[in-house]
Structure 1
Amino acid sequence: MTTRASRPVGTVTRGTTNPNRLRRMDRWIAATHGAALRRAADPVAVDLGYGAAPWTAVELLGRLRGVAPRTRVVGIEIEPDRVTAAKPYEQDGLVFRHGGFEIPVAGRPSLVRAANVLRQYDEREVAAVWARLCARLAPDGLLVEGTCDEIGRRHVWVALGPGGPRTVTFATRLGSLERPSDLAERLPKALIHRNVPGEPVHAFLRDFDHAWAAAAPYASYGARQRWTRAVRDLAGDWPVTDSATRWRQGEVTVAWGALAPSD
């Protein structure tokens, strides 16, 4: 008796993608999760919802193999035609499969990257999707879920382990930034509607803008120096979890609990 394959879980996204769009997220993953990938017996990374073109999955393979050479990448798309179009790009360590939030791979992946996937969902659906994806992770696995602009200048993502959300990272090309709160438009679905007075993420971005303004004298040394100074001051009041090594990349990572919705 033949069992019919279950239908993929999720809905089709717009599929917008561009080369190097996710470079900031990939750079952060390689730096912070590379050691876990190297430790894994069979390190599998999933590019969930890679879109209408396979560029992000191809790039993810190259960037992760730079820090963990045994890593394999599986690109997963819920739209069958996108999987068919991506097949010619398969190579050693990279395959494409039809699927959704059920993550149709054997075993438990060490990494699931879901970029610009939940943007179209309702905020009330996010927690259930997170829980489903986290349940598929290896014990030391990581889910990275977030949103960026079309060319990857501004990006905000949440990092989650099997136990749930851990941190929120803000990343930007500093030359394009007028003030840190410009990143608010790229907040992931769990936070974007919470950027209102009385919510922690709104208070964080407000304080970040104040720190940025106070660091204006450092602008003469460049935007990187101004950002680094602003984050250093911000860390006095907010649980910043990374160091100047990451700040100089135009990033700052904050503990999830400090920015989580108030209800």
Structure 2
Amino acid sequence: MVSRSRPVGAVTRGTTNPNRLRRMDRWIAAVQGPALRRMGAPVAVDLGYGAAPWTAVELLERLRAAVPRVAVVGVEIEPERVAAAQAYVRDGLSFVRGGFEVPVDGEIGLIRAANVLRQYDEEQVGAAWERLCGRLAPGGLLVEGTCDEVGRRQVWVALGPEGPRTVTFAARLASLSAPSDLAERLPKALIHRNVPGEPVHAFLRDFDRAWATAAPYAALGVRQRWLRAVSAIASDWPVVDRPGRWRQGEVTVAWDALAPRR
């Protein structure tokens, strides 16, 4: 039994909208689904779901399509939000008060923390990551990132119990003028590092150049332009996913290639 101590963390603004995290959810179901299915009765945590529980409800629906036995627990530090969410409780979905200590029983196969760390200082991110990763079961995944208010642009870091693994950039391609538009949605660990001399800045610069070079492919549709640009940067950067994911408006890069320089 997990000890229910004083919640660790601060109250977020709570802004949320239906379908805001659909790109992140789609990626989680595809990438983490096999590991969750190997667990007996996996638990997925929606940490800091906000003023309304839409994201937790949607996470359950999307994960259950890939992992029928998964249960979702929404965790919020604000007691009024937890009380309001009780109206949405059903089989496989519950809500508790808590923070980074994640007061949830069971085998935690996923913690999703979207738009939670953005309000913290960069220096606080490492400790938060470590604490959250410490709550994961073997094979578990922490997905921590940021998106805009309607979910058209999202960037997230995926971490295992050992630490950060990858960074994923995802967008509604029709809304994108250049890949560097995603810079404003970089997670807290990277957003202040988008300056000359830092790897993430170099990556976005190269991505923009590849996007410009691929401009003729726009005549075939924005997806074809994206595919061509991602294929080009994959020759210089450790892109870890394949065209099937690129077609979704995504690209995933190894964390070590973008990690901040100390």
Shorter chain as denominator, the TM-score bin is over 0.9
Deviations 1:19-51 (A, max 9, x none): 000000000000001111111011100000000
Deviations 1:204-261 (A, max 9, x none): 0000000000000100000000000000000000000000000000000000000000
Give 1:1-263 correspondences, 5 Å limit: 5-263=4-262
Superposed CA RMSD in Å reads: 0.8
Amino acid at match of 2:105: A
Partner SS state of residue 110, structure 1: strand
Assess if the C-alpha contact under 8 Å between 2:114 and 2:146 holds in 1: yes
Partner SS state of residue 63, structure 1: helix
TM-aligned CA deviation for residue 179 of structure 1: 0.2
Amino acid at match of 1:182: D
Assess if the C-alpha contact under 8 Å between 2:41 and 2:107 holds in 1: no
Assess if the C-alpha contact under 8 Å between 2:145 and 2:186 holds in 1: yes
Assess if the C-alpha contact under 8 Å between 1:159 and 1:165 holds in 2: yes
In 2, Cα distance between the equivalents of 1:108 and 1:66?
Answer: 19
TM-aligned CA deviation for residue 106 of structure 1: 1.3
> Size of the alignment, in residue pairs?
260
Partner SS state of residue 205, structure 1: helix
What fraction of aligned residue pairs are identical, expressed as a percent?
76
In 2, Cα distance between the equivalents of 1:244 and 1:122?
Answer: 35
Q: Structure 1, unaligned stretches of length 5 or more?
A: none
In 2, Cα distance between the equivalents of 1:92 and 1:108?
Answer: 17
In 2, Cα distance between the equivalents of 1:53 and 1:5?
Answer: 23
TM-aligned CA deviation for residue 6 of structure 1: 1.9
Q: Structure 2, unaligned stretches of length 5 or more?
A: none
In 2, Cα distance between the equivalents of 1:37 and 1:5?
Answer: 25
Deviations 1:105-150 (A, max 9, x none): 1134000000000000000000000000001001100000000000
In 1, Cα distance between the equivalents of 2:69 and 2:5?
Answer: 30
TM-aligned CA deviation for residue 85 of structure 1: 0.4
In 2, Cα distance between the equivalents of 1:32 and 1:195?
Answer: 27
TM-aligned CA deviation for residue 5 of structure 1: 4.7
Deviations 1:60-102 (A, max 9, x none): 0000000000000000000000000000000110000000000
In 2, Cα distance between the equivalents of 1:226 and 1:31?
Answer: 23
Partner SS state of residue 143, structure 2: strand
Partner SS state of residue 104, structure 2: coil
Deviations 1:172-202 (A, max 9, x none): 0000000000000000000000000000000
Q: Which moved more, 1:100-109 or 1:14-23?
A: 100-109
Assess if the C-alpha contact under 8 Å between 2:42 and 2:106 holds in 1: no
Amino acid at match of 1:66: A
Assess if the C-alpha contact under 8 Å between 2:43 and 2:106 holds in 1: no
Assess if the C-alpha contact under 8 Å between 1:108 and 1:136 holds in 2: no
TM score, norm. by length of structure 1: 0.98
Partner SS state of residue 108, structure 2: coil
Partner SS state of residue 193, structure 2: coil
In 1, Cα distance between the equivalents of 2:111 and 2:242?
Answer: 24
In 1, Cα distance between the equivalents of 2:121 and 2:107?
Answer: 27
